[in-house]
Amino acid sequence: MENFTCQETIETIIHRTMKMDLTWDWSCGVAYYGICRVYEVTGEQKILTELKERVDELINLGFEGDWTVNKCAMGHCLITLYEVFEDERYLELLLSKVDYLEKRALRFGDGVLQHTVSNHDDFPEQAWADTLFMAGMFLLRMGILLKRQDLVEDALNQYYWHIQYLQNQTTGLFYHGYDHLQKSNLSACYWGRANAWCAYTMSQLKRLLPEAYLYPKFMDVQASLDEQLAGLKTYQSEKGLWRTILDDVTSYEEVSATAGIAAAMVANDNPLHRKYIYRAIPGLLTNVAPDGRVENVSAGTAVMKIIPDYQAISRQWIQGWGQGLMLTFLAECLDNPHITSLLVENETQEEDNEYITSR
């Protein structure tokens, strides 16, 4: 997006996102999380107005069946809406998601949530990185909201075991999935967006959890994040992006993974990572179309059987998770004064270039 300002870019992305017919699933959950994160940082009430109308419409239409891990992602925007508007309908839905995760969601091993995308046992005893955004961070936020220590501990347990199952401590990177029955990481792919799910949600714990340092498992999470980001920085491309297969230089650069990874770096706020964030900013913004579509975002991706199959996933279409992760990245930038100055500097440079060109 040429001649952007951060605020204009955010408004354009939100406007395009709200034109999508998203319903009760993870695409909607990630998209609306991004919008809510912008609201949390800016405090601009108008950002929530259209979102509230859409969510209320979905509530009035009703919800059939049971929740899944993926569908719990919608809980993030419901938390924000409940905190702002105090509408008991939002709380009822939130409690129903908690009830599902506590009583009906499939688990294995030490209470680890099996990743579910339907009400069938599609992936027996598999842990996916995606679960940390869809359900892990949701459980944490609900534990804090309801002042339920058991939910907080459950959330931290999800992080702890996903780290044990998915992270390669030699590289710091995360595999996409783990099969507990086979005791394997399946295709053993360092998938870009999987690393974004892990990095971003881990970066939020110290912001969300009061006195996080008093929880032993939080120490594991923070150490894991530090190792992951140290590893990820070495895989950034010359354009400032990360690839859909992180360690394959022939793999295409993927924007949702980049937005999530860069957002984690901003939130974690290690000064040694600022140059990598700065490199990512123009690379990300050139992938925002004038109408607010976030481009070059890979479609929904299961844990593939062989690594080359990740390359075949389409990136032609607008995706809710691409919209949401880009908004999340921009919101985290606005929430960090060091990075906000970089955005302002970039905007000023664009204005200077336009002035010079017009002379």
Give one DSSP letter per residue of 261-330, joined into a string: HHHHHHHHT-GGGHHHHHHHHHHHHTTB-TTSPBPS--------SSTHHHHTS---S--HHHHHHHHHHH
d(CA 359, CA 355): 6
User: Is 112 strand, coil or helix?
Assistant: strand
User: Is 174 strand, coil or helix?
Assistant: strand
177: β partners: 128
Residue from 263, 245, 243 nearest 253 by CA: 243
Burial of 77 (0-12, 13-18, 19+ CB in 10 A): buried
* Cα distances (Å, whole numbers) of residue 201 to 229, 260, 282: 13, 9, 24
Amino acid identity of 34? G
Show the CA angle centred on residue 188, arms to residues 180 and 104, nearest 5°: 35
Q: Taking each helix axis from N to C terminus, what angle separates 6-17 and 26-42, rounded to the nearest 10 degrees?
A: 150
Helices (H), 43-111: 46-61, 75-85, 88-103
Of the candidates 56, 130, 226, 291, the residue annotated as catalytic is: 130
Is 154 annotated as catalytic? no
Token reading at 8 = 């204009």
Residue numbers annotated as active site: 130
